[in-house]
Amino acid sequence: MKTQDISKLSGEELGRKLDEMKKQMVSLKLTHKMAPIENPMRIRGLRKTIARLSTEFLKRQNAA
C-alpha cells in the first residue's frame, strides 16, 4: 500500500486496516514457521506496510 493511498484513508479506516494487517502478519509468520512460504518477501513488504500505517496513525493522533 502506497503512502498516498494511506493518507487518503479516514482515521477509522486507518485503524481497521492496521489491525487487519497485524493479524495477517501473525498468520503469515506462523505459516512460515511451519513450512516455508512461497514468497518470503511478502513478510518484509507487510512489515513495511504496517510501519507506514502506524506512522500515519500516530501522526494523526499527535496532530489532534
Give the three cell numbers for residue 58.
500516530
Cell representation of residue 47: 512489515
Q: What is the pTM of this model?
A: 0.89
Q: Taking a C-beta distance cutoff of 8 angstroms, is the pair 37, 28 a contact?
A: yes
Q: What angle do CA 34, 36, 42 make, to 5 degrees?
A: 115
pLDDT value of position 1: 82
Task: Tell how far CA 50 is from the center of its chain.
Answer: 3
Q: What is the pLDDT of residues 9-56, one digit of tens each?
A: 998 999 999 999 999 999 999 999 999 999 999 999 999 999 999 999
- 38 φ/ψ angles, rounded to the nearest 5 degrees: -65, -40
Q: What is the domain extent for residue 25?
A: 3-63
Tell me how many domains the chain contains.
Answer: 1
pLDDT tops 80 at residue 64: no
CATH number of the domain within which 46 lies: 1.10.287
Inform me whether the pLDDT recorded for 8 exceeds 90.
Answer: yes
